[in-house]
């Protein structure tokens, strides 16, 4: 079983994450409240994904990530950002930073699980072997406001230094270059090995003119503010609406593993009449509503036909077309209630894997709804 290490000095946040993992039986959870304990765990056991806060006692998150680059460079890492902290958005990757990812607090557990699954997929596909690029790490320095020297090594041949004061890049040196030229050249290095040490007294002069985020090829994106709970009077909801709301929350929390399947397009939960009770859509142009209504009718006719032939009730139906694979499965009506789940995949996707994963998460979705 894959092991995920969560590092955060916020005990309440750790408890929330632990509670989320109880409903997701794909990982073994390890926790630490400081960077030193995290490194001790990493030295004793194989960890698949590391999720860490930046602000940590003893050894902070920046130094922990630097340790990962030297000792576990192919292990995906996730940075948890404190509320109000902006998130770096890398313009050439539309926000996806491969081996190093940033997620803002507070987050739904489903969002964190999704990021973890993405990291697992990247690792399984061999896309994390090279390790991280320096530019993906640079925002950590701004967020941590560290004063230090960083030695950067790439491929055993490229070597350089960067000097920071309170998160501001003062100077850089590499292969005979200094200042902006050295910093921009180093930012593109991949497979970096980072060592953080004290800032030498001689390197306190500001020689870098380009902003750090520009060197990283990124911009800051502030999390959109949501209205406070007291700003609006919330209308009363019927028991049916409450059930749908809980079902939607449960789907959002449990659907993370489906989103990691190649070609995954969407999922909907229906009642026997074909009404959508909850859904998840990875492909925005997918018209789940019309598909679900018509496919539900088709499923009912198939079920009626096989029952008449003495084959008992229909529990699933799969349709393959040149543009999609549509999979419908039912819940156990006696144990979980009468619900129908319809999943959509691109034709090149692994339909069998989708079906097996659906069979696993359907009970989880309905149990927590």
According to the model, what pLDDT value does residue 210 have? 94
The residues near 204 (Cβ < 8 Å, ≥ 6 apart) are 163, 165, 170
242-249 mean pLDDT: 71
Q: Class of the 240-367 domain?
A: alpha beta
Q: What is the DSSP string of 194-242?
A: EEEEPPPGGG-S----S-HHHHTTEEEEPPPP---TTSSPPPP--HHHH
pLDDT (tens digit, 9 = 90+) per residue, 53-105? 999 999 999 999 999 999 999 999 999 999 888 888 887 654 445 688 899 88
CB 142 within 8 A of CB 213: yes
Are 1-225 and 240-367 the same fold in CATH?
no
Query: How many Cβ atoms are within 10 Å of 279's Cβ, its own excluded?
Result: 20
Q: Tell me, what DSSP letter sits at residue 288?
A: H
pLDDT (tens digit, 9 = 90+) per residue, 189-209? 989 999 999 999 886 789 999
19, pLDDT greater than 90: no
Handedness of CA 274, 263, 115, 256 (dihedral sign): positive
Q: Give the pLDDT band (50/70/90) at residue 169.
A: very high
Domain boundaries, the chain: 1-225, 240-367
> For the whole model, what pTM was predicted?
0.64
Strands 100-104 and 87-90: unpaired
CB 365 within 8 A of CB 251: yes
According to the model, what pLDDT value does residue 241 have? 53
Per CATH, the architecture of 1-225 is what? 3-Layer(aba) Sandwich (3.40)
275, pLDDT greater than 70: yes
Residue of 125, 208, 193 lying closest to 163 (CA atoms): 208
pLDDT (tens digit, 9 = 90+) per residue, 214-227? 999 988 876 544 43
1-24 mean pLDDT: 87
237-264 mean pLDDT: 73
Query: How many Cβ atoms are within 10 Å of 340's Cβ, its own excluded?
Result: 24
The SS3 call for residue 130 is coil
CA distances, 232 to each of 106, 226, 227, 235, 244 (Å) = 21, 11, 8, 9, 21
């Amino acid at each position: 079983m894959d092991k995920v290490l969560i590092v955060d000095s916020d005990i309440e946040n750790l408890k929330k994450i632990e509670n989320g993992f109880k409903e997701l039986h794909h990982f073994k959870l390890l926790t630490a409240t400081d960077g030193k304990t995290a490194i001790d765990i990493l030295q004793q056991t194989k960890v698949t994904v590391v999720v860490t806060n930046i602000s940590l006692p003893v050894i902070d998150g920046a130094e922990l990530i630097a340790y990962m680059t030297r000792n576990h460079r192919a292990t995906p890492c996730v940075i948890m950002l404190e509320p109000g902290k902006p998130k770096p958005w890398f313009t050439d990757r539309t926000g996806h930073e491969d081996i190093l990812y940033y997620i803002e607090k507070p987050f739904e557990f489903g969002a964190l699980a999704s990021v973890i699954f993405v990291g697992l997929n990247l690792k399984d596909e061999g896309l994390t072997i090279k390790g991280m690029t320096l530019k993906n790490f640079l925002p950590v320095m701004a967020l941590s406001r560290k004063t230090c020297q960083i030695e950067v090594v790439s491929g055993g041949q490229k070597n350089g230094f960067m000097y920071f004061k309170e998160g501001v890049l003062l100077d850089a040196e590499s292969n005979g270059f200094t200042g902006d030229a050295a910093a921009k050249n180093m930012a593109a290095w991949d497979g970096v090995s980072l060592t953080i040490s004290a800032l030498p007294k001689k390197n306190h002069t500001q020689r870098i003119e380009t902003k750090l985020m520009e060197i990283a090829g990124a911009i800051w994106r502030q999390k959109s503010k949501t209205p406070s709970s007291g700003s609006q009077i919330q209308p009363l909801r019927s028991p049916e609406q409450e059930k749908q709301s809980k079902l939607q929350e449960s789907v959002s929390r449990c659907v993370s593993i489906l989103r990691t399947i190649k070609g995954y397009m969407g999922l909907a939960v229906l009642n026997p009449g074909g009404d959508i009770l909850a859904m998840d859509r990875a492909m925005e142009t997918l018209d789940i509503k019309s598909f679900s209504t018509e496919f539900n009718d088709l499923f009912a006719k198939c079920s009626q036909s096989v029952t008449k032939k003495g084959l008992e009730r229909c529990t699933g139906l799969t349709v393959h077309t040149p543009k999609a694979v549509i999979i419908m499965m039912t819940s156990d009506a006696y144990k979980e209630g009468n619900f129908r789940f319809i999943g959509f995949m691109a034709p090149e996707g692994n339909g069998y894997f989708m079906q097996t994963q659906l069979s696993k998460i359907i009970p989880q979705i309905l149990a927590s709804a």
